[in-house]
Structure 1
């Protein structure tokens, strides 16, 4: 979950690494550090807290050199202190690390017996000393011998002041990419860190070791040099900037109509859905007997909506599993099982592990992902990219709505190929789906109303979100967003479940956000609202222009769309509620405490 940046070339390394770390701070912001190499000496500066603290110190302390490594940390082992910040050093060796070394305690004990002392509580320092313990003038050989002893999921970036200008990169179940330049090269744990410097990337595969200098790079797998394809990334560097918005999250909320259009673009031809990247043969489609969606967090909520889509239109039994639970329970999988992992980053550790296990057991795996050539797409048989563009805010917004669009596309495609829908029905659905971005845009015009709402409601300590059918996952997502970025306790429930426990919590101090747009169960939702009002609860409704709703609740109006598309529209008010309350309270909207964007550890 941490951010890694490396540079080797002819320019000053420190400013390039610092700028890269700024683009990766969403991956962790407990501490940060940079080490550069000049005249066979290492120069290092580390700081606890957010990256701004390190930047303040660097204003008065230049780190010379044209090669270096940097890190922004999400704490796993050891508190967020300067001592625990990366890079860690052992003799001439400096190292940064993302992931977890599971056997670090055993290794640490062995190293202590050899006379090594430890200045931190981290598992990372163990790796630095371990490499040093094998070092006899050849950093590559020492690193290879060290990683043979490591257990866990990790990526490593290693520098040695005795071999200035050379970086060693190791990828093992944690993301790492190479960026290629002219007489200079880059390393990063995610594309946005170096997108302003290069568009040419190599995506390392699990088990790869890369040796990188300013003039060249070599990639090795199982001790043999291999070629990895160079990919051109089309994202604009400007897409990762705030573009005048106060926060990345607010910008990304407003980008959702564009992102959904981009996800749909090129997927329709002559009234049919065309998804060639799924790489499914007709017999494989007809042989599907069961579908399992696996995901974490916000992506899990999207998968829950996907279950409604898939079962309604494909008539295939569909399950939704939290990846961290799915990977550790007994599974029933055969060749008739289709597994659909859903992940924004493509590096989510639990989802990736669940995918690999299902694939080993014989399942067909088709993923939905936002990041090109990340680990989950590479491990899957086929992929449907969401094309949301880089999402920097830790609380996911546009990634979620594009996942909903992608799940609907995949559903239409399977229903079309299995003849569950006629060509005319598919064509009509496509027309309805293409109208949704315009409906989303109309909701985005009402931001000021949510700001006023935040002023009235920011002091409440508990919220309840209620929804039914397609909008139950939106209630769960709304509660998650509020607790993530405002630190207000919030829970999402199925409206019909309120009487089975949560109603005991309702009084005048409990705001209840009810998703009450037209649906097959609309009258029942209105009854649930009345039950809340009878207990003096404060009802906030998300609804179309309904007199019945406005009579009993504060109401946020959204345009009426077909029920199955309503999650893509109704989620926007819940995002605004969370955003404006968080901003009004003075919370760090884009970098909420204890969280990171890409969860690459268990």
Structure 2
């Protein structure tokens, strides 16, 4: 029996004293905790006034003393489950927590509220963890602990109940009870580097397969049947949206197609994919779309009606702010849709319907393949909605589907620029600032490129709409400020972006330009410190994936040359499960 935790600091610096596990003063109860206790200050003061001594600055240590105090008040008779439940009932905030007890060495108690927790069930062994990738080496059989549930784990089995004490699910050696096990769709090979120096570059290079998996079974050519009208040349089927909306006869897809407004809620990289989704859905399906930071949406008392649809995008499916956005949507009668990568995650379970990315586990903190898979899912959704609403010509629809079918090959061609980008990165590795410029559907690509660079290389970078350069950023441009311009010739604003490039050159800024193969208009800008990277020519609405991947590789190689911790950048976590 044992417990351990890799800590992302919320209260107190990352020091030995603040490291988990934390103990009661008599060291008879140990605890590890992922989350944040919001009423930590008042509870800590109350416990100090009662004579409890704190040895760390963390909110986790509070949980140990709180359990000790509850037991002191209740006496030794109640079970540890009752004591832990009573202690947790006093806590406000989010937690995934596991307790261990000296007087019952074969007992672990786990509980969750707003922070993920799973139970891995192996042959004669149990494991509590916050993510399936932590247990897949030992077992693929897991139980997803539900929000507000507590689990008792012993050698003989496990029992689940609500934190309030109501029994929910139970499995033991002696009882014939329906097993709530779910099998993880993850292999050990997927969470190993496979010969690559870092997970990030492995995941970048895996994107042709990821996009293929995202489209598999969704983008297809219907079979020709005898004695029937010829079927459409291409079709898109999103099975997760075929479920009926509760209380209606409509499928989720039909409800989205008939919505007054779609609100996309997300954080970080997922927010950038949401911005691309806004361009796609509005231009193809002609539905009003708003994109919100989930952290802002949840606190601004948003106006929602049952005619609205809230789409939550999250790689992990556990992002705290995005989860709260779903709860707000449901409380206002709006339909909630999840776009997540992790099967069985809280967002996947709590939304009315959804679409999985099927990108496979993403281990590197900086999201790469999940982002492009999110954009692909949003593209499929936009096309599906457009056809449902009759806002797209069949010929154009089929042409886009043909290009989507070829996308794994297009991405493979982009990845062949890796050697060129690695060489380019040597010129930029010492830069202190970067500016990324794009217009229209490429503005979110500029934002994403800047985010990737700052996340893993620790270089300050900003993404801007190219036209806004004149409204401030142009003052910063000189020979010490590299500027990345996303300038596909097929973009209707190409000539205007080209003018922006001229303005950068006139101020001695170093340039990196992303454009299509065959576009030689920009060759004159290529020089000793100015570079042009070419990507496959695809329709404008499909360009974000092929223009993003070079920026992912740029970020990776610059960070590698700077000796940065690429897979685990400082101060960042893969899944932000606290506010």
TM-score, length basis structure 1: 0.87
Q: Who is 1:592 aligned against?
A: 569
In the TM superposition, residue 422 of structure 1 has moved relative to its aligned partner by: 5.2
Q: Name the SS for the 1:551 alignment partner.
A: helix
Distance in 2 between the 1:526 and 1:424 partners? 31
How far the C-alpha of 1:460 sits from its partner, in A, is: 1.3
Q: Deviations over 1:329-370 (max 9, x none)?
A: 131211110111110111111111111111111110111100
Residue of structure 1 aligned with 2:114, choices 158, 173, 178 = 173
1:38-49 paired onto structure 2 within 5 Å: none
Q: Tell me which residue corresponds to 2:42.
A: 106
Q: Which of 516, 523, 534 is the equivalent residue of 1:550?
A: 523
CA deviation string 1:233-268 (max 9, x = no partner): 121111011100011101010011111111111113
Query: Which of the numbers 494, 499, 517 marks the counterpart of 2:488?
Result: 517
Q: Distance in 2 between matches of 1:450 and 1:268?
A: 32
Instruction: Provide the C-alpha distance between the structure 1 equivalents of 2:467 and 2:255, rounded to a whole number of angstroms.
Output: 38
Tell me the distance in 1 between the aligned counterparts of 2:538 and 2:400. Answer: 12
DSSP-derived class of the 1:547 partner: coil
Q: 1-side partners of 2:18 and 2:185: how far apart?
A: 36
> Aligned pair 1:204/2:145, yes or no?
yes
Instruction: Please report how far the alpha carbon of residue 552 of structure 1 lies from its aligned counterpart in structure 2 after TM superposition.
Output: 1.3
1:43 corresponds in structure 2 to: none
Matched, 1:193 2:164: no
Residue 223, structure 1, aligned to residue 171, structure 2: no
1:159-558 correspondence runs (5 A): 159-221=100-162, 222-227=164-169, 229-269=180-220, 270=222, 271-278=234-241, 279-280=243-244, 281-282=250-251, 284-421=255-392, 425-518=396-489, 519-544=491-516, 545-553=518-526, 554-558=531-535
Residue 424 (structure 1) shift: 5.1
Give 1:94-173 correspondences, 5 Å limit: 94-135=30-71, 136=76, 138-173=79-114
Q: Deviations over 1:480-536 (max 9, x none)?
A: 111111111111111111111111111111110001112111111111101111111
Q: Which position in structure 2 is the counterpart of 1:570?
A: 547
CA distance in 1, matches of 2:219, 2:459: 42
Contact 2:313 2:338 in 1 (8 A): yes
Conserved in 2, the CA contact under 8 Å of 1:116 and 1:129? Answer: yes
CA contact (8 A) 2:400 2:539 kept: no
CA contact (8 A) 1:294 1:321 kept: yes
Q: How many residues align?
A: 536
Unaligned runs of 5+ in 2: 170-178, 223-233, 245-249
Q: Distance in 2 between matches of 1:532 and 1:421?
A: 38
Alignment deviations for residues 155-203 of structure 1 (CA, whole Å, 9 cap, x no partner): 1100101111211010101000011112211110001000111111111
Q: Is the 8 A contact 1:69 1:96 kept in 2?
A: yes
Mapped to 1, the partners of 2:368 and 2:189 lie a distance apart of 18
Note the residue ranges of structure 1 that are not aligned, 5 or more in a row. 1-66
* Distance in structure 2 (CA, Å) of the matches to 1:424 and 1:217: 57
| Contact kept? 1:177, 1:189, Cα under 8 Å | yes
C-alpha separation in 2, matches of 1:268 and 1:440: 17
- Offset of residue 105 of structure 1: 1.6
Give the secondary structure class of the aligned counterpart of 2:521. helix
CA RMSD in angstroms comes to: 1.4
Spell out, residue by residue over 1:559-578, the C-alpha distance to the aligned partner (whole angstroms, 9 max, x if none): 11111111101111111111
What's the offset of the Cα at 1:113?
A: 2.3
Preserved contact between residue 417 and residue 550 of structure 2 (Cα < 8 Å) = no
Contact conserved, 1:201 with 1:230, CA < 8 A, in 2? yes
Greater CA drift, 510-519 or 128-137? 128-137
Offset of 1:546 from its aligned partner? 2.1
Q: Give the Cα–Cα distance (whole angstroms) in 2 for the partners of residues 203 and 412 of structure 1.
A: 33
Q: How far apart are the structure 2 equivalents of 1:463 and 1:549?
A: 20
Give CA deviations for 1:117-139 in whole Å, capped at 9, x if unaligned.
11101111010011122232631
Stretch of structure 1 that moved more, 200-209 or 215-224: 215-224
Within 5 Å, give how 1:48-67 maps onto structure 2: 67=1
2-side partners of 1:469 and 1:481: how far apart?
20
Write the distance in 2 (CA, Å) between the matches of 1:214 and 1:186: 11
Report if aligned partners of 2:368, 2:552 keep a CA contact under 8 Å in 1: yes
Q: Could you tell me whether the CA contact under 8 Å between 1:272 and 1:423 is conserved in 2?
A: no
Q: Secondary structure at the match of 1:260?
A: helix
Partner SS state of residue 186, structure 2: coil
Moved more, 546-555 or 346-355: 546-555
Instruction: Give the Å deviation of 1:423.
Output: 5.2
Per the alignment, residue 79 of structure 1 pairs with: 13
**Mapped partners of 2:536, 2:400: distance in 1:** 18
* Kept after mapping to 1: 8 A contact 2:117/2:129: yes
Which residue does the alignment assign to 2:556? 579
Taking the aligned partners of 1:403 and 1:206, their CA distance within structure 2 comes to 26
Q: Which residue of 2 aligns with 1:30?
A: none
SS of the residue 1:72 aligns to: coil
Is the 2:82–2:165 Cα contact (8 Å) retained in structure 1? no
Cα deviation for residue 475 of structure 1 reads 0.5
- 541-550 or 369-378: which moved more? 541-550
TM-score (norm 2): 0.90
SS of match in other structure, 2:461: strand
Which range is displaced more, 200-209 or 418-427? Answer: 418-427
